[in-house]
Amino acid sequence: MLIQSIDRAFYLLEQLSAAGSDGLSLGALAQSSGLNPPTARNLLATLVQLGYVVQPSGRGNYVLSDRLSFKTPGDRDTNLASFATPKLQQLSALVNETIVFSILRNDHRKTLVAMESQHSLRVSAQEGLDDHFYQTATGRSLLSQLTPTELKTFLRKHGLPGEKWPDVNSEQDLKRELDEIKRNGYVSISKGMVRALAVPVVFTKGKPRGALGLHYPSGRYPTAKIPGFIDNLNQTARKIQQWS
């Protein structure tokens, strides 16, 4: 139970680090972490007492205190986002659909860059930390890059997807689906009126695993358009992989 509390506390701290000086409300933290509000409030109260988190006005959003910062990964993530942004802007101008660039950070999906299309009908996207692995194309792409040992560790923490991935009802199902993603080299999800595509962004050892996604209203294009989009994504992914 103690280890679980520490894990939850660090997740809240990571979210606040990603939010920067604007901070996050109790409701936003509870929703994104999957905690009920009383549990999130108790953890935050402890972090406030320890001096790691503050509420500048005594109420409202929580922010990290000057006593704590996640400088090493945060600076690297900022550097990577800055490096990737011009490449993503070129891709955005080419396809004019919503683009997301995410990495795996401490067992969470962290979207470093999100660019929405200029169409009036478009798919929204947000930057920041979440655990949306099973229901998103970039999340599935990130999972497909895990080693068997890493996947087992992930499953112990997150469990099976349930309704978030209807085709997966067991660990074997999950491995089969992830193996197929590896073979294909991309993810394609059609859910409701949205089509989501993603390809891996593979860096050298010691750097985070990445995934580049493209989201658009599924009725806008025929399925024959998908291979072209995948090619666009792969070309941009190769440019981002040059980050050092």
Higher pLDDT, 56 or 210: 210
Q: Is residue 2 pLDDT above 60, yes or no? A: no
First to last CA, the chain: 39
pLDDT of res. 1: 47
pTM beyond cutoff 0.85: no
176-209 residue pLDDT tens = 999 999 999 999 999 999 999 999 999 987 788 9
And the tokens for 72? 């090493």
The sign of the dihedral angle between the CA atoms of 40, 45, 47, 51 is: positive
Residue 102 sits at φ, ψ, to 5 deg, of: -125, 155
134-189 residue pLDDT tens = 999 999 999 999 999 899 989 998 999 999 999 999 999 999 999 999 999 999 99
Domains and CATH numbers, the chain: 2-64 (1.10.10.10), 72-240 (3.30.450.40)
- The C-alpha atoms of residue 98 and residue 47 are separated, in whole angstroms, by 36
